[in-house]
């Protein structure tokens, strides 16, 4: 029995859908039957195997001003067509369009579980925002690149439509998403290291297996003006918890943080507290937990009026092997709670 | 310095009336092995378990893995300065029982012990799934302080391995491997050094060089043969995936590979062993000192391995930068902590000079392993060891953990074939 | 407040106070108890000074 054609839904902005230019950038999400605009050469490239059953269109400004609701509306328009693949763009270097493509793809993938792909230029702001969420085929900067991009995009749509496994970026023609995946390879790490060093010494081309990451920079908060009126909180990634680790914070790769009351406590002692952090010699912290969470010092400073008030809870997690993504999540959540509680400043200790 | 390793291949391990080797089978006198361990009054209970490749066995919690060896010349003990008289390692004939290991297991000391599966999907992640393992399960006397507990278990493992090594006396080795850097080497070959940091951060985080605590050392030159012949012993456990077991030190794959290419593809000019301490001042001092030693060796390039993760990332980045600043090119071997979804930044520190990096895998990757028919040790610590979490152990004994908890899964000496790739 | 300043810099902290050592950032077990508590107090005060200082970029409060 011949396999039916896989179903594709395509996403375009108002311009590529041939509705209009900037003056039509505010149009809300809508759907048309079959292929539209660049969808037509895309359909040709897909041949008999895949069918673009519908095209969802939205104005770039409408999307940009209502990302969440627009993405949701796109999902609602896509769903009835039961696609096997959702493809957006190509967006080239159009920033609002690239963001809309990324957001639409992410929403469709998450809400409908449909495989997604888009295409845009490497510097399109949409790439930075959505590169981890969706497959992105590299496209040239300008619309002149449509002719070379369509076959690449079609090739990837085809792989998704036929349920073929997606391999490494270089092999399958998509931009690396920064997702690290383990695999067993031919040569040992030691062999690969010596190979790489010899290539480097000979001036031959080599490919590093891990490019140095960059970390986000946060603008500094303004200084505290009146310390003697300020509320200061203590936070630690050093794993200081009440004895018995009641919330079972993990020794490594923490999946949570916790808050514990220090109301009426002047000093952290070995009988009441311990460390649960698996990444350092625990002996000193277990003898005197103040060595990691300086409660005794903070309380003395409160008593002497140097700080206005020591916040009645401290926050703790374990920074051992804990992923940056989780650390960011915890940090945001802790910050929200501290701000809501009127805290002005934080002493954060790490081991 | 010329070292001969007389390799006796062990293909099976069994209990027997006497400890001996016959036709490649290591027979173990269980009561003698237990009595040997219990000579240390700090240990209350000792048991022995045998585990062979392919068996449905999970060994947990594992502290160290030690390959049985002795000096053929009859020198007492094997680990000079630690569990044996002081001598310079690295010459003469050493008998090696290859294909078998001692694993020390027992009541968990900290959070850093790991496990080994002898079959199933977890086996591919540990080199010790493929050796015939003599597991020494040790429990301390009540109230023994942790430092004493760790030391007692460490020494028991070394002594057990040496005891088993004695079975090789009089046995003709299957193969003799010769390690000799030789005389003059083709001067056009690139001069390559190996920088070998070892963890030195306190309880369950320590390493010993001829019995000296690595915390107290300045970086130093060492002949590769010394490493291959027992000069370095592990007291480190963190984490199971990327700590160097004593067996790893004895079989250091970077040294093995550099030796293999010595004289043909490169000139292996030497090894600098350095530490990974807990203060910024120590890290700066050691990295500067080690970089200078690499320069004094006249190296063109250096391989830099790593032990542990997190703060040791700062050390290897300092080493990389300072060595590159001398005009010496570097390559780093590191694992990654990219989060369970693989999308977090993998290292705690970076320098732009680190442009040649080998990645031995994302240690946060989660694996679900089937229950095993037999547990040697205790399965419960799986929930508290690094890589484990509440709910790691299912009611039927299935295990869901990060590969961080598997012995040697992301060894940063590059022993294995695991890599992390960008998707 | 952490001992390994380069890591605090890499991950983007804006106000950094160098601490003593990884297993005891706000302590020094080699010191007698009273001296250790004074050391801790001094370090925390340095932290508070940092909170009272406006910074434009990542700053290490060393002095």
Q: Around Cβ A65, how many Cβ atoms within 10 Å? A: 13
pLDDT digits (tens, 9 = 90+) for B283-342: 999 999 999 999 999 999 999 999 999 999 999 999 999 999 999 999 999 999 999 999
Residue B352 to residue A202, Cβ atoms within 8 A: no
Average model confidence (pLDDT) across chain B: 96
Range of the domain at C37: 5-60
| DSSP conformational letter for B149 | H
> Do A163 and A285 share a domain, yes or no?
no
CA B270 – CA B253 distance, rounded (Å):
15
Residue A113 counted as domain residue: yes
Radius of gyration, CA atoms only, chain B: 21
Contact B405, B382 (CB under 8 A): yes
Query: Does residue A1 have a pLDDT over 80?
Result: no
SS3 B123: helix
**Which stretches within B275-337 are classed as H helix?**
280-296, 311-325
* Residues A123 and A35 grouped into a single domain: yes
pLDDT in tens, B73-110: 888 889 999 988 899 999 999 999 999 999 999 987 77
Same-domain check for residues A51 and A167: yes
**Residue A186 domain flag:** no
CB contact under 8 A, A190 and B413: yes
Shortest CB distance from B279 goes to which of C6, C11, C21? Answer: C21
- Tell me phi and psi for residue B191, to 5 degrees: -90, 120
What are the φ and ψ backbone dihedral angles of A182, each rounded to 5 degrees? -80, 145
| Alpha carbons A131 and A133: distance in angstroms, whole number | 6
- A56, A141: one domain: yes
Name chain B's partners: 3 or more CB pairs within 8 A: A, C
State yes or no: is B237 an active-site residue: yes
Q: Which residue of A has its CA nearest to B337?
A: A321
pTM of the full structure: 0.91
Distances (CA, A) of B317 to B222, B270, B272, B329: 22, 21, 16, 13
Give the ipTM of the model, two decimals please.
0.98
| Residue B58 in tokens | 């999970």
Q: Which chains touch A (3 or more CB pairs under 8 A)?
A: B, C
Instruction: Taking each helix axis as running N to C, give the angle between helix B311-325 and helix B280-296, from 0 to 180 degrees, rounded to the nearest 10.
Output: 40
Question: Is A231 domain-assigned?
Answer: yes
Query: Could you tell me if residue A326 is inside a domain?
Result: yes
Whether the Cβ atoms of residue A58 and residue A29 lie closer than 8 Å to each other: yes
Residue numbers of C between 2 and 61 with CB closer than 8 Å to A: 2-3, 8, 10-12, 14-15, 19, 22-27, 29, 36-37, 40-41, 43-45, 47-48, 51-57
Closest CA to B262 of B190, B206, B196, B207: B190
Q: How confident is the model at residue A2 (pLDDT cuts 50, 70, 90)?
A: very low
A46 and A127 together in one domain? yes
**What pLDDT does B113 receive?**
87
Taking an 8 Å cut-off on Cβ atoms, the answer to whether C23 and A285 are in contact is yes
The last residue of a domain, from among A107, A137, A172: A172
Q: Tell whether B283 is within 8 A of chain C (Cβ).
A: yes
Q: Are residues A286 and A158 in the same domain?
A: no
Q: How many CB pairs under 8 A join A and B?
A: 245
Asked if the Cβ–Cβ distance from C1 to A348 is below 8 Å, we say: yes
pLDDT band at residue B112 under the 50/70/90 scheme: confident
* pLDDT, position A335: 97
Domain-embedded: residue A218:
no
Provide, as residue numbers in chain B, all residues whose Cβ is less than 8 Å from the Cβ of C60: none
Å from B46 to nearest chain C CA?
32
Positions of chain C with pLDDT under 70:
none
Total domains in the fold of chain C: 1
* Model confidence at A254: pLDDT above 90: yes
Q: What is the domain range of residue A40? A: 6-172
Question: Considering the domain boundaries, does residue A191 fall inside one?
Answer: no
Of A285, A307, A348, nearest to C48 by CB-CB distance is A307
**pLDDT tens for residues A65-93?**
999 999 999 999 999 999 999 999 999 99
Nearest residue of B to residue C28, measured between CA atoms? B279
Does any domain span residue A1?
A: no
Q: Tell me, yes or no, whether A157 and A18 share the same domain.
A: yes
> Does residue A122 lie within any of the structural domains?
yes
Using H for helix, E for strand and C for coil, what is the string for chain A?
Answer: CCCCCEEEEEEEECCCCCCCCHHHCCCCCEEEECCCCCHHHHHHHHCCCEEEEEEEEECHHHHHHCHHHHHHHHHHHHHHHCCCEEEECCCCCCHHHHHHHHHHHHHHHHHHCCCEEEEECCCCHHHHHHCCCCEEEECCCCHHHHHHHHHHHHHHHHHHHCCCCCCCHHHHCCCCCCCEEEEECCCCHHHHHHHHHHHHHHCCCCCCCCCCCCCCCCCCCCCCCCHHHCEEEEEECECEEECCCCCCCCCCCCCCCEEEECCCCCCCCCCCEEECCCCCCCHHHHHCHHHCCCHHHHHHHHHCCCCCEECCEEEECECCCCCHHHHHHHHHHHHHHHHHCCCCEEEEECC
Please give the tally of structural domains in chain A.
2
Measured between CB atoms, does B201 come within 8 Å of chain C?
A: yes
């Amino acid at each position: 029995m011949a396999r039916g054609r896989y179903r594709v839904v395509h996403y375009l902005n108002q311009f590529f859908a041939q509705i209009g230019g900037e003056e039509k950038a505010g149009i809300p999400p809508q759907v048309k039957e079959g292929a539209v605009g660049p969808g037509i050469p895309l359909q040709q490239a897909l041949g008999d195997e895949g069918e673009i059953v519908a095209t969802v269109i939205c104005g770039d400004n409408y999307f940009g001003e209502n990302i969440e609701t627009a993405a949701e509306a796109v999902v609602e328009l896509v769903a009835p067509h039961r696609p096997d693949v959702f493809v957006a763009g190509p967006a080239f270097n159009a920033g609002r369009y690239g963001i809309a493509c990324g957001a639409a793809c992410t929403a469709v993938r998450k809400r409908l579980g449909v495989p997604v792909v888009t295409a845009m230029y490497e510097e399109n702001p949409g790439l930075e925002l959505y590169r981890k969420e969706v497959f992105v085929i590299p496209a040239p900067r300008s619309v002149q690149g449509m002719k070379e991009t369509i076959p690449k995009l079609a090739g990837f749509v085809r792989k998704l439509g036929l349920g073929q496994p997606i391999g490494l970026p270089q092999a399958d023609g998509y931009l690396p998403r920064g997702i690290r995946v383990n695999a067993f390879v031919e040569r040992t790490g030691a062999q690969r290291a010596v190979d790489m060093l010899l290539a480097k010494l000979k001036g031959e081309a080599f490919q590093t297996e891990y490019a140095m990451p960059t970390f986000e920079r946060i603008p500094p908060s303004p200084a505290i003006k009146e310390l003697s009126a300020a509320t200061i909180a203590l936070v630690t990634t050093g794993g200081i918890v009440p004895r018995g680790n009641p919330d079972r914070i993990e020794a490594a790769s923490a999946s949570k943080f916790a808050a514990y009351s220090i109301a009426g406590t002047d000093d952290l002692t070995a009988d009441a507290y311990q460390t649960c952090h698996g990444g350092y010699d625990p002996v000193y912290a277990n003898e005197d937990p103040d060595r990691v969470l300086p409660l005794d010092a903070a309380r003395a400073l409160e008593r002497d009026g140097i700080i206005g008030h020591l916040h009645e809870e401290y926050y703790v997690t374990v920074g051992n092997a804990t992923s940056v993504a989780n650390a960011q999540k915890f940090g945001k959540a802790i910050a929200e709670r501290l701000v809501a509680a009127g805290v002005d400043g934080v002493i954060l200790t790490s081991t | 310095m010329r070292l001969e390793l007389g390799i006796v291949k062990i293909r099976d391990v069994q209990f027997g009336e006497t400890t001996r080797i016959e036709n490649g089978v290591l027979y173990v006198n269980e009561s003698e092995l237990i009595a040997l361990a219990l000579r240390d009054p700090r240990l209350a209970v000792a048991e022995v378990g045998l585990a062979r490749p392919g068996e449905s066995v999970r060994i947990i919690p594992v502290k160290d893995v030690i390959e049985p060896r002795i000096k053929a010349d009859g020198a007492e003990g094997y680990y000079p300065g630690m569990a044996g008289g002081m001598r310079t390692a690295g010459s003469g004939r050493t008998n090696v029982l290859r294909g078998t290991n001692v694993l020390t297991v027992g009541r968990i000391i900290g959070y850093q012990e790991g496990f080994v599966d002898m079959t199933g999907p977890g086996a591919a992640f540990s080199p010790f799934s493929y050796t015939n393992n003599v597991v020494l399960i040790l429990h301390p006397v009540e109230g023994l302080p942790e430092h004493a507990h760790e030391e007692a278990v460490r020494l028991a493992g070394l002594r057990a391995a040496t005891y088993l090594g004695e079975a090789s006396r009089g046995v003709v080795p299957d193969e003799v491997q010769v390690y000799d850097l030789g005389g003059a080497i083709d001067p056009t070959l690139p001069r390559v050094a190996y920088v070998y940091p070892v963890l030195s951060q306190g309880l369950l985080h320590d390493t010993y060089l001829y019995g000296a605590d690595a915390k107290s050392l300045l970086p130093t030159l060492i002949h590769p043969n010394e490493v291959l012949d027992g000069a370095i012993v592990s007291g480190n456990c963190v984490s199971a995936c990327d700590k160097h077991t004593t067996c790893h030190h004895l079989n250091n794959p970077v040294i093995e590979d550099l030796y293999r290419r010595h004289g043909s593809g490169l000139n292996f000019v030497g090894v600098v062993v350095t530490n990974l301490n807990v203060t910024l001042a120590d890290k700066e001092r050691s990295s500067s000192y080690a970089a200078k030693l690499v320069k004094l060796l006249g190296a063109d390039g250096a391989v830099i391995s790593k032990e542990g993760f997190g703060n040791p990332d700062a050390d290897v980045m300092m080493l990389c930068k300072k060595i590159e600043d001398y005009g010496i090119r570097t390559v780093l071997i590191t694992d990654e902590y990219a989060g369970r979804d693989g999308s977090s930044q993998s290292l705690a520190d970076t320098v732009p000079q680190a442009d040649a990096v080998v990645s031995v895998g994302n240690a946060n990757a989660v694996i679900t392993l089937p229950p095993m028919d037999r547990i040697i040790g205790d399965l419960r610590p799986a929930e508290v060891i690094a890589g484990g979490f509440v709910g790691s152990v299912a009611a039927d004994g299935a295990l869901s953990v990060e590969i961080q908890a598997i012995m040697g899964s992301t060894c940063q000496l590059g022993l294995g074939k695991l890599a992390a790739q960008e998707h | 407040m952490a001992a390994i300043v380069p890591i605090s810099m890499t991950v983007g902290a804006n106000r950094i106070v160098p601490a003593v050592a990884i297993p005891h950032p706000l302590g020094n077990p080699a010191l007698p108890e009273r001296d250790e508590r004074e050391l801790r107090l001094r370090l925390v005060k340095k932290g508070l000074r940092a909170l009272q200082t406006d910074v434009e970029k990542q700053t290490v409060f060393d002095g």
